[in-house]
Amino acid sequence: MPVLDTAALLHWPVEKIAGNLVANSQMTELENLSPERAMLVEALDLRWESPDTKDAEIAAAKTGDLPRLSPVDLDVIAIAINSNEILYTDDYSMQNVCRFLGLEFQPVFNQKSKKQWFWQLKCIGCRATKEIEIEKEETCEICGSPMKVKKARR
């Protein structure tokens, strides 16, 4: 049974939603977004979980996606980690963390993102670049100038 993000809960037909894995925190999110939809989804037979998000947070910190992920997003990723089931999401940051962890994911509507985001350091002096996995400051090994963190694609 796949893991569904909130976009799927909002927009998919109910027969496609039933029986899947979701986070308890998504119900609150759904209630805020659409009370009618929340009532409908509540009546479905879903597996509601409240996972430990530690591994999801560590992975998201490594890819640099943590600032763009909500506590609900992290719950959903954590469920995907625990269950090792396909995650349905259109959120690029969530997809990026899945890719980093080797977890399978599918889009809810949009096309799958093809590229992995990474952090890159760029020297403000000589413009040398260096790939890093965790966001951190460094000085350039070539010229000694400070290096600035920027997001890069690979």
Chain residues that interact with Zn ion, rule: CB under 5 A: 123, 125-126, 128, 140, 142-143, 145
Is residue 140 a contact partner of residue 125, using CB atoms and an 8 Å limit? yes
The nearest distance, CB 136 to Zn ion, in angstroms, is: 16
Closer residue to Zn ion (CB): 128 or 132: 128
Is residue 79 a contact partner of residue 49, using CB atoms and an 8 Å limit? yes
**Range 56-93 burial, b when 16+ CB lie within 10 A, else e:** bbebbbbbbbbeebeebbbbbbbbbbebebbbbbbbeb
Closer residue to Zn ion (CB): 37 or 122: 122
The nearest distance, CB 127 to Zn ion, in angstroms, is: 7
Closer residue to Zn ion (CB): 7 or 128: 128
The nearest distance, CB 152 to Zn ion, in angstroms, is: 17
Q: What are 127's two structure tokens?
A: 């413009």
